[in-house]
């Protein structure tokens, strides 16, 4: 399967714990996005990477959130000191700069539950 | 919230009928896209319309864009049970920032 993959698919954690999610984009895609989606809502933009550079970070992201894309391939999203309000689906998407349809390819998401 | 609004929030129709959903966005855009999300699955890109286009077709999909009203509509003709999903518009300002709407949950009854 050459689509976007995310790991883990589900994560249950206790409040105050740290969690890390991984995203593997489509191999030739240089753009990578993280979104958060809560029930009944559309995805909310969190951050964007072009290659290894993090070009934008949403004001939604507190300093407990950090994302990296060290070699311009896979990316990680870490949440420190999790809170119950962090419970959501975390989606990763990748895209190829210059593609005619400018479409994003989404992974299946990581569902986080903070108890 | 940055999110656009979609209308209606939920829509239930019979198979074979047409479904129309609307999206409003807040900022000037380069293009607008529509995505579909099936229950428990990721989002899938459906169609893109650029800011200088007014209408676009792809199979049973027809998208319109009115930049003066900051709105777009998605029409699905001859709907099928497999079209049951949530539909989101995503407006793109600048080169990379996508702002998704709140979504329309479509249910097509067989």
> What is the pLDDT, as a whole number, of residue B95?
64
What is the rounded distance in angstroms from the CA atom of residue B86 to the CA atom of residue B11? 10
Pair of tokens at residue A17: 């714990």
Contacts of B103 in chain A (CB under 8 A): 40-42
Best residue of A10, A29, A43, A101 to probe chain B, by most B CBs closer than 10 Å: A43
Q: Decide: A78 and A18 in contact? Cβ < 8 Å.
A: yes
pLDDT tens for each residue of B44-66: 999 999 999 999 999 999 999 99
Say yes or no to pLDDT of B40 above 80: no
Contact (Cβ atoms closer than 8 angstroms) between residue A23 and residue A32: yes
Asked if A44 lies within 8 A of B2 by C-beta distance, the reply is yes
pLDDT tens per residue across span B94-104: 767 789 999 99
CA distance B8 to A2: 35
Render each residue's pLDDT in chain A as its tens digit; 115 residues: 579 999 999 999 999 999 999 999 999 999 999 999 998 899 999 999 999 999 988 887 889 999 999 988 999 999 999 999 999 999 999 999 887 777 899 999 999 999 9
A42–B92 CB contact, under 8 Å: no
Q: How far is CA B7 from the centre of its chain?
A: 10
Residue A41: partners with Cβ closer than 8 Å, 6 or more residues away? B3, B102, B103
Report the C-alpha gap between A68 and A104 in whole angstroms.
19
End-to-end CA distance of chain A: 33
Q: Is residue B86 within 8 Å of B106, Cβ to Cβ?
A: yes
B85 in contact with A, Cβ within 8 Å: no
Q: From CA A24, how far away is CA A4, in angstroms rounded?
A: 6
Alpha carbon of B44: minimum distance to chain A alpha carbons (Å): 7
Edge-first strand order for the sheet with A5-7 is: A5-7, A19-24, A75-79, A65-68
Under 8 Å CB-to-CB from B51, ≥6 apart: which residues? B28, B29, B30, B31, B32, B65, B67
Nearest residue to B69 via CA among B5, B14, B1, B3? B5
Inter-chain touch A102–B101, beta carbons under 8 Å: no
- Residue A42 to residue B48, Cβ atoms within 8 A: no
- Could you give the CA distance from residue B85 to residue B40 in angstroms, rounded to a whole number? 10
């Amino acid at each position: 399967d050459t689509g976007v993959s995310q790991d883990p698919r589900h994560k249950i954690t206790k409040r105050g714990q740290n969690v890390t999610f991984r995203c593997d984009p489509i191999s030739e895609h240089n753009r990578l996005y993280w979104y958060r989606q809560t029930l009944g809502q559309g995805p909310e933009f969190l951050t964007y990477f072009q290659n290894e550079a993090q070009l934008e970070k949403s004001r939604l992201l507190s300093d407990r959130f950090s994302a990296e894309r060290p070699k311009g391939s896979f990316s990680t999203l870490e949440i420190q000191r999790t809170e119950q309000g962090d419970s959501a689906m975390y989606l990763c998407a990748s895209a190829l700069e210059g593609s005619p349809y400018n479409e994003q390819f989404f992974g299946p998401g990581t569902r986080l539950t903070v108890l | 919230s940055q999110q656009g609004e979609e209308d209606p929030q939920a829509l239930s129709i019979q198979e074979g009928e047409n479904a129309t959903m609307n999206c409003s966005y807040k900022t000037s855009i380069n293009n607008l896209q529509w995505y579909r999300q099936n229950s428990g699955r990721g989002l899938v890109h459906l169609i893109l319309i650029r800011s200088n286009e007014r209408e676009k077709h792809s199979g049973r999909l027809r998208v319109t864009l009115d930049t003066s009203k900051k709105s777009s509509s998605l029409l699905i003709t001859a709907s099928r049970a497999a079209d049951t999903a949530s539909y989101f518009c995503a407006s793109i300002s600048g080169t990379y920032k996508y702002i998704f709407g709140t979504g329309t949950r479509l249910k097509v009854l067989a």
